[in-house]
Structure 1
Amino acid sequence: MPFLALLIVLIAAILHAISNFLFKGGRDAAAMLWWSVTIGALWYGAFLATQASFAMPLETWVVFIPSALAEIAYARLITFGYADGALSQVYPIARGAPLLLIALFGALFLDERLPALGYVGIALLVVGIYLASLPSLGDWARPLRAARHRPTQIALLAALMVTIYTLLDKIGMRSASPLVYNWWVYASIAIGFAPFVWSRANRASTAREFRLNWRRILIASVATVGSYLAALIGLQMTAASYVGSVRATSVVMGALLGWLFLKEQLGALRVFAAALMVAGLVLIAVAR
């Protein structure tokens, strides 16, 4: 993986971890997500209007539309999982499965053939993400045992959506500017997710979330828009398998933020998981 691409996607992972960290302070995850995406689309669109056209080639729209639908579905699934209250049990599957699926389908449909070291690096990242999300090593099989339960099924569907939009966005980056494409991504999520957060059952909670957490939302809007812009630039430069894998290191970065600022326990297992992920990143970096 080119070093510059690795650096850019690591920045994407850091920003993604920051946005998720900020979401922890909210009461309504769906509302926090929608406000951040919508405000991000507004200020980013104002900036883009001074720099470029919003137009994209027809060939880009062919892949963008299903990608946007997958993004909206992912947002709905992940917030539904949070509301269900048990997604943390299967978070390793939600974050780890896309790495394997992107590598598989990238090889099948995008002809992405990685060197052996690249695949070993991805495997280490998958194991690291899985371990980092467990409460203890003794619980290593709990996510697998929960495969028949609804939270696990939600996580697997969310993982599939991540796979779909990542691969489609890789194709989209062949013909579109990341600057323009990124705005359409956030504008689509803002519009597509609005009927849910502003439904009669949710509108009071959505309005209250902004009143209580507008500072967090504004900062998160910058982090989330910047994160995906960096990821799209990475997709222009290297294989989707690498981008999806490196960006997923945000799991451990989020744990580090919790340790630094919320005094959450890091634990030996998460330290070991982080070491595995660093080893995976090194292998990906040197793979040629």
Structure 2
Amino acid sequence: MLSDWILSIEGTPAGHDAALALALAAAFLHALFGALQKGGRYDPWTSRTAMDVAIFAISTPIALFVVPWPPAGLWWVLLGTVVIQFVYKALQGATYQRGAYTVVYPVVRGTGPLFTVLGAGIIFGEVFTATQWAGVAILIAGLFGLSAYNLAKITVDRATLAPALGLAVATGFLVAVYTTWNAFGIRSMADPFTFLAWFFMLTSWDFPLIAALRGRWRRPEASLVRLGLTGAIVAFGSFGSIMLATRLDSVGEAAILRETSTVFAALIGWVLLKEAVGPRRLILMSLIALGAVVVEFGG
């Protein structure tokens, strides 16, 4: 079984390499997930609701009938996950609604890893070397530089940028909270896929329920159904990959590597959302990638 293989390489060099691959996969998929929620013909709330419906429909039978059930003594971890994930999703949706994707996304991703590294040090006893901290500084400089450059250039959503940037910082803090909490959760359960299946099931009912209570349910268009299914598959890959990476290896390193998602986000914004990418942005994106490389090989 896949879970047996995950457990067999945990804490080994093979586990470290697998965590690296999973974190980079999560970076690309997370950027794609953000673009799916932000871009297209639907507002971020509608997009996320459609994705959550699909996530719930797929994950529920797996959680109930395929993977082992969570131990009774760890239900409090899942309850905390539900609360944290809801607050994160609400902040993320509000951020995307008010700010241009290429401005707010780097702020979210730049704030998150710093808090995550600090939290991983306190909770899991992880220690970064001086070289790795230099890598963190390079990556964050690239992220916030990219956001500042995009802020100076964009002509849309400028009236709501101030609150959007404040929400982006708050969302980044919640990224750190859920990353650290979920790392604790997936490490606490014997079978990592138990946590993953129940995570997806329990954190995907909130937006659909809110939409129902607000009378926003309607017969979905075919395009919205496709968006929901696509987003669900991407979410499984994105969140599943990063949580498995934190089970296999360092939480802080996985969090930093995931922030290369901003490079992927800029490319997606260029290709799919038709947002311009110039030489200065390419340099800043290279700084982000360089910072991640320094963190990975500076340990």
Task: Please indicate, yes or no, whether the TM-score normalized by the shorter chain is above 0.5.
Answer: yes
**Would you say 1:13 and 2:27 are equivalent positions?**
yes
Would the alpha carbon gap of residues 271 and 44 (structure 1) be closer, same or farther in structure 2, given more than 3 Å must change? Answer: same
1:241 aligned partner: 252
- Match for residue 190 of structure 1 among 168, 187, 204: 204
Aligned-residue offset at 1:217: 2.2
What is the Cα deviation at residue 9 of structure 1? 0.7
Structure 1 residues 257, 153: CA separation in 2 closer, same or farther (over 3 Å shift)? closer
Q: Does the aligned pair in 2 maintain the 1:13–1:248 contact within 8 Å? A: yes
Instruction: Spell out the pairing of 1:1-288 with structure 2 (5 A cutoff).
Output: 2-23=16-37, 24-47=39-62, 51-53=66-68, 55-85=69-99, 89-136=103-150, 149-176=162-189, 177-200=191-214, 202-204=216-218, 207-208=219-220, 210-288=221-299
The worse-fitting range, judged by mean Cα deviation, of 274-283 and 211-220 is 211-220
Q: More deviation in 228-237 or 268-277?
A: 268-277
Work out the CA distance in 2 between the residues paired with 1:43 and 1:276.
Answer: 38
CA contact (8 A) 2:23 2:258 kept: yes
Structure 1 unaligned residues grouped into runs of 5+: 140-145
Distance 2:270 2:77 in 1: 39
Consecutive unaligned residues of structure 2, counting only runs of 5 or more, are: 1-12, 154-159
Kindly report the root-mean-square deviation, in angstroms, between the aligned alpha carbons of the 2 structures.
2.7
Question: SS state of the match for residue 264, structure 1?
Answer: coil
Question: Cα 1:91–1:261, aligned 2, differ >3 Å: closer, same or farther?
Answer: closer
Task: Give the aligned residue type for 1:99.
Answer: P
Residue 5 of structure 2 aligns with which residue? none
Q: C-alpha offsets along residues 141-168 of structure 1, whole Å, 9 cap, x if unaligned? A: xxxxx99x53333223222222211111
Deviation of 1:80 (Å) = 2.0
The one-letter code of the counterpart of 2:178 is Y
- Residue 143 of structure 1 corresponds to none
Aligned in 2, Cα 1:123/1:285: closer, same or farther, shift over 3 Å?
A: same
Residue 284 of structure 2 aligns to which amino acid in structure 1? A
Contact 1:59-1:175 within 8 A present in 2 as well? no
Q: Supply the distance in 1 between the matched residues of 2:112 and 2:100 (Cα, whole angstroms).
A: 19
Which has the higher mean CA deviation after the structures are superposed, 79-88 or 251-260?
A: 79-88
SS of the residue 1:190 aligns to? coil
TM-score normalised by length of structure 1: 0.84
Q: Compared with structure 1, are the counterparts of its residues 30 and 232 closer, same or farther at alpha carbon in structure 2 (3 Å cutoff)?
A: same
CA positional deviation for 1:189: 2.2
Q: TM-score, normalised by structure 2?
A: 0.81
Give the Å deviation of 1:226. 1.3
User: 1:39: Cα distance to partner?
Assistant: 0.8
Q: Give % identity.
A: 23
Contact 2:55/2:204 (8 A) holds in 1: no
Question: What is the one-letter code of the residue matched to 1:27?
Answer: Y
- Alpha-carbon distance in structure 2 between the residues aligned to 1:236 and 1:18: 23
Between stretches 222-231 and 159-168, larger displacement belongs to: 159-168
Report the number of matched residues: 277
| 2:19–2:248 CA contact under 8 A, matched in 1 | yes
**Kept after mapping to 2: 8 A contact 1:129/1:249:** no
